[in-house]
Chains A and B, each alone.
Chain A
Amino acid sequence: DIVMTQTPLSSPVTLGQPASISCRSSQSLVHSDGNTYLSWLQQRPGQPPRLLIYKISNRFSGVPDRFSGSGAGTDFTLKISRVEAEDVGVYYCMQSTQFPHTFGQGTKLEIK
């Protein structure tokens, strides 16, 4: 199975400041079709997960442009350019290149 490792596990951030979350996979996420199925999801307190980014860097519909994804192969990053209060929650990376699909442990974003 592909292991997804996120760092940090907790990230206190000042409002208006940037935040960054790293995700590393135990093997390459490049699929035989050439795509890399790495997604980022946000889970606000008491809410279901919400897709933010798919295939490394594609923002899903309605996602603010302060969220961006980057990376390749086994190393990926989610960046928030200026953190807002509504961004509080847990962020997960997820690989769906290979079954079983696997998630990172989650990174809790909180406001300082």
Chain B
Amino acid sequence: EVQLLESGGGLVQPGGSLRLSCAASGFTFSSYAMSWVRQAPGKGLEWVSTISDSGGNTYYADSVKGRFSISRDNSKNTLYLQMNSLRVEDTAVYYCAKGGGRPDYWGQGTLVTVSS
């Protein structure tokens, strides 16, 4: 059974940093691209970032480019999202999803709140 478990969310002040993690199990992690998607309170889905299976290629939404960094550790079956220079508008539930072109499994999400 595929499982994705996000962690690392919380309350942070504007300008602060957080690192999200997504622990994967139930599939060959190193064979799949992985993505982060977020959802602001009461709003729709917004794609944030995707990383290739090897980690050699990364892609970002313009809204986070230069501030967020996606990475993975295939030996630990874990996906990361390093978030720096956080803004109030980054407040959202962050989901990790298996796949890039076909996001077929999603975690339960972790809430990031950016507020002073």
Q: Give the interface of A toward B (CB within 8 A).
A: 35, 37, 39, 41, 43, 48-51, 54-55, 60, 90, 92, 94, 96-97, 99-106
Contact = CB atoms under 8 A, between A and B. Distances in A.
Leading 10 A-B pairs by shortest Cβ distance: A101-B47, A48-B106, A96-B101, A103-B45, A99-B59, A106-B44, A54-B102, A51-B104, A37-B101, A100-B61
Nearest to A61: B104
B104 A60 contact: yes
Nearest to A96: B101
Contacts of B104: 51, 54, 60
Contacts, number: 60
Given A94-B45, A100-B62, A37 B102 contact: yes
Nearest to A37: B101
B2 to A, nearest CB: 10
Given A99-B50, A103-B47, 17 more contacts: A37-B101, A41-B45, A48-B95, A48-B106, A51-B106, A54-B104, A94-B45, A94-B47, A96-B100, A96-B102, A96-B103, A100-B61, A100-B62, A101-B47, A101-B50, A106-B44, A106-B45
Given A48-B108, A48-B109, A103-B46, A94 B103 contact: yes
Contacts of A51: 102-106
B9 interface: no
B107 interface: yes
Interface size class of B (residues with CB under 8 A): 20 to 34
A26 B33 CA distance: 26
Nearest to A6: B44
B97 to A, nearest CB: 8
Contacts of B103: 39, 41, 49, 51, 94, 96
A49 to B, nearest CB: 5
A39 B45 CA distance: 13
A41 B46 CA distance: 13
Residue picked from B50, B59, B101, most chain A C-beta under 10 Å: B101
A35 B95 CA distance: 26
A99 B58 CA distance: 10
A105 B50 contact: no
